[in-house]
């Protein structure tokens, strides 16, 4: 299904360039529920762009030139005669603009007043207070756009996310089961797992390929959820950028590419903090996933993860498998 009810499927021919120094390629672009999918002429996915993070470089000129938020080096050209696709993109972007403006005049006045007060008191605020306030007021649509932009920056280091036509719906079902927006499998770039703003969780391919029980990969996602409960991923991003990045986000709603790159480099190399055991077990219980398989995957002796084993909230219960065998086998070969 597409984001527009009148279309079951909407496709158009286009030219895609992955980087400024790369050659343009003939591709097929299709509108999904929340993304644009770019595929080669054999229908193999090449990239997924968030509709919320889509920007046009040349309004009113043709061919229409689009790029993802924060990355003008990757481009998509759509010819003027692809009227259905261009009209669909224009309508979706207009809808997103209206959604951002919906709170109306009163909220705009309130926001401007808040910003004026914040500017007057900024010299007295502690950086953590400013950071906390900014995290509280950033809307979900901006978090999703930031997460998608960060994923693009990380993919430049890790390589393109693993994806096939067969596994895409499996990832969607697993993400829904674990209460996240998007689950992404990477060949490299993250040591284990990572939670990005907007509900995107990245997993290293080893968590899928090296374990027979899908509860191990599901457990890694739930541990990331526990970390996100204790420390908002957006707060991590802004802290990595410093007070200037925080103030820029508060006043303009934007972050520079340099800030995104700095965070991507920091978070890939830095060890992930261990979340509180009580918080972690609560996430496993909420998702009805056993914690023992994940715990033993971290330490086969069980000594350092004894709490996750002894207090497994699903121990002794009859449970539905995280994924059926067929789906899990397909997912294990997602990276080829």
pLDDT per residue as tens digits for the range 72-83? 888 989 998 888
Is residue 285 scored above 50 in pLDDT?
yes
Q: Tell me, what's the pLDDT at 292?
A: 95
* Token code pair at residue 176: 């829904």
- Alpha carbon distance 174, 180 (integer Å): 9
- Tell me the three state secondary structure of residue 161: coil
pLDDT at 175: 95
pLDDT value at 66 more than 50: yes
Mean pLDDT of 298-304: 93
Mean pLDDT within 48-57: 80
- pLDDT of 174 above 80: yes
Q: List residues bridging with 203 in a β-sheet.
A: 185, 193
> Given this model, what pLDDT does residue 52 score?
74
181-230 pLDDT, tens digit each: 999 999 887 888 999 999 999 999 999 999 999 999 999 999 999 999 99
pTM for the predicted model, two decimal places: 0.66
CB 184 within 8 A of CB 201: yes
75-98: average pLDDT:
81
Mean pLDDT of the chain: 85
The stretch 21-48 carries a mean pLDDT of 84
What are the angstrom distances between the C-alpha of 35 and each of 74, 92, 233, 268?
A: 16, 11, 22, 25
Residue scoring higher pLDDT (234 or 60):
234
Residue scoring higher pLDDT (305 or 271)? 305
**Are 4 and 10 contacting, i.e. CB atoms less than 8 angstroms apart?**
yes
Rounded Cα–Cα distance for residues 145 and 110 (Å) = 24
Decide if 146 contacts 197 (C-beta within 8 A).
yes
| Predicted pLDDT of residue 73 | 84
Report which of 296, 335, 290 is spatially closest to residue 311, judged by C-alpha positions: 290
Average pLDDT for 295-305: 93
Highest-pLDDT range among 4-13, 17-26, 33-42? 17-26
Q: What pLDDT score does 2 carry?
A: 46
Residues 249-282 have pLDDT tens digits of: 888 888 898 889 888 888 877 778 899 999 999 9
Cα-based distances in Å from 101 to 4, 7, 81, 218, 229: 21, 26, 31, 37, 29
């Amino acid at each position: 299904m597409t984001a527009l009810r009148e279309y079951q499927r909407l496709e158009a021919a286009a030219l895609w360039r992955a980087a400024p120094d790369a050659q343009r390629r003939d591709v097929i672009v299709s509108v999904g529920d929340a993304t644009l999918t770019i595929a080669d002429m054999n229908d193999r996915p090449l990239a997924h762009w968030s509709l919320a993070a889509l920007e046009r470089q040349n309004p009113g000129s043709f061919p229409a030139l689009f790029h993802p938020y924060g990355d003008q080096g990757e481009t998509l050209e759509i010819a003027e005669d692809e009227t259905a696709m261009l009209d669909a993109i224009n309508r979706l972007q207009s809808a997103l603009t209206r959604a951002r403006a919906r709170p109306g005049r009163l909220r705009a006045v309130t926001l401007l007043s808040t910003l004026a007060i914040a500017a007057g008191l900024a010299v007295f605020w502690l950086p953590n207070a400013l950071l906390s306030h900014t995290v509280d007021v950033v809307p979900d649509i901006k978090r999703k756009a930031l997460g998608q932009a960060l994923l693009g920056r990380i993919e430049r280091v890790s390589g393109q996310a693993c994806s096939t036509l067969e596994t895409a719906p499996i990832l969607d079902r697993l993400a829904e089961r674990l209460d996240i927006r998007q689950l992404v499998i990477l060949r490299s770039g993250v040591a284990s797992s990572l939670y990005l703003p907007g509900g995107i969780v990245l997993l290293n391919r080893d968590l899928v390929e090296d374990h027979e029980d899908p509860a191990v990969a599901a457990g890694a996602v739930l541990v990331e959820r526990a970390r996100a409960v204790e420390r908002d991923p957006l707060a991590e991003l802004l802290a990595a950028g410093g007070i200037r990045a925080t103030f820029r986000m508060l006043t303009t709603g934007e972050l520079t590419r340099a800030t995104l790159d700095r965070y991507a480099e920091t978070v890939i190399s830095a060890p992930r903090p261990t979340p509180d055991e009580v918080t972690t077990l609560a996430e496993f219980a909420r998702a009805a996933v056993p914690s023992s398989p994940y715990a033993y995957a971290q330490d086969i002796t069980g000594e350092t993860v004894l709490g996750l084993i002894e207090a497994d909230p699903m121990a002794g219960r009859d449970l539905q498998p995280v994924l059926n065998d067929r789906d899990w086998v397909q997912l294990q070969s997602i990276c080829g």
